[in-house]
Amino acid sequence: MKTFLDFEKEIKSNKLQNVYFILSNDNYYISRASGLLREKLFGSKDNRDNYFLKYADDISLEELFDLNNNFPSLFSNSKIIVLKRCEKYSRKLDDLFEFVKKSDPDSYLLICFDKDFAKDKKLDKDKDKEFYDFTEIPEIKNWIRNEFAEYGRKIGDDALEYLEDNIPQSIDMLHLEIEKICTYDPDSTVEINKDILLKFTGYDVEFTPNDLMKSILRNDSGKAVQILDNLLNKAGLSEIYLVSIISNYYFDLLSFKSAKFKADNYSIYSKYKIWGERINFAKEYRNVLSIKELEKAVSLIIEVDKKLKTSMLDSKILLTSLIEELCNL
């Protein structure tokens, strides 16, 4: 399946399509993709005169049809419509795809689906639809280096390795973390090494997310809660971001537990997106919990993640309760 890099190469090579089907869980690559289209069609990524960002749960198909076919512009015949959360049209997918076939030839559409929904409905298996997967970060090391370079900063190999090992599932969150690190001291020209990275992110030695996970799997709830308190109150880590990091560790363990890993580390990265110290961590702790216990842990994490995003409950109490439950598995 094509990635954002393929999309970028095609746009820059003037190989434009009127319709792009996108798998996405974040806004980062969708924002970059729409910027590339605006720059190509309108001459500047900052030009939003004929650019429309819509959400499927806020616009009916009829309104979408009208926007696509009836919008006049004095500046350009072309227009760009980015439609997110298309899974909300689950009962009208046939109508959506029929509309796409008859779309205005001057319109350029980014039709964005949640990746899990698209795979569940097997939309990505439809030979008539070519999907671009915007949920993966292709060439992860180069991507991180380039993100720092955009702020005029360089990142050392040790810091890069650390950042890789603690990468969140959300591209948006990783981008925000890099932005936070780079704007901490924007005039500095010093290369960012691991020590500086820990300082910028507010982690203390032995109070990192990695140390938190080790304490949890050793059933040391006292130490785990102490580290949690440090990460939230001193390092200022976002609760949602921390849950994302924790979930990565458990998915790594689940992958190692449910699959027979006999491949080299490069193959493990290519197939399971596990690398660096995360491989060593998973190898060391994969036998601590059973499959059922790991599934229970993932279930608890998902439940807390939903509550953090949808309820008014105290986030720190939710996290403390989660850590204590994970320690008791």
Residues 86 and 167 grouped into a single domain: no
Q: Alpha-carbon Rg of the chain, whole angstroms?
A: 22
Residues 82 and 41 grouped into a single domain: yes
Domains: count for the chain: 3
Residues 170 and 243 grouped into a single domain: no
* CATH number of the domain enclosing 64: 3.40.50.300
From residue 145, how far is each of 30, 170, 181, 182 by CA, in Å? 20, 18, 13, 12
Report the distance separating Cα 185 and Cα 1, nearest Å.
39
Q: Which of 153, 181, 201 is the last residue of a domain?
A: 201
Residues 52 and 162 grouped into a single domain: no
Helix, strand, coil % (nearest 5) of the chain?
60, 10, 30
Among 325, 270, 267, residue whose Cα is nearest residue 298: 325
Is pLDDT of 266 > 50? no
Q: Which of 158, 185, 201 is the last residue of a domain?
A: 201
Antiparallel, parallel or unpaired: β 2-3 and 79-84: unpaired
pLDDT bracket for residue 21 (50, 70, 90): very high
- Are 84 and 33 in contact, with CB atoms under 8 Å apart? no
Residues 242 and 163 grouped into a single domain: no
Residues 174 and 253 grouped into a single domain: no
Residues 238 and 189 grouped into a single domain: no
Residues 240 and 120 grouped into a single domain: no
Residues 191 and 118 grouped into a single domain: no
pLDDT at residue 71, rounded to an integer: 62
Q: At 121, phi and psi to the nearest 5? A: -85, 0
Domain that residue 293 falls in? 203-329
* CATH number of the domain enclosing 293: 1.20.272.10
Burial 255-280 (b: 16+ CB within 10 A, else e): bbbeeebeeeeeebbeebbbbbebbe
Report the distance separating Cα 286 and Cα 250, nearest Å.
9
Residues 120 and 109 grouped into a single domain: yes
- The predicted-structure confidence for 38-71, as pLDDT tens digits, reads as follows 999 988 999 888 899 999 988 999 999 888 887 6
- The predicted-structure confidence for 280-291, as pLDDT tens digits, reads as follows 777 788 888 898
Is pLDDT of 325 > 50? yes
pLDDT bracket for residue 271 (50, 70, 90): low
* CATH number of the domain enclosing 155: 1.10.8.60
- The predicted-structure confidence for 90-103, as pLDDT tens digits, reads as follows 999 999 999 888 88
Residues 305 and 220 grouped into a single domain: yes
Residues 240 and 250 grouped into a single domain: yes
Q: Which of 167, 201, 235 is the last residue of a domain?
A: 201
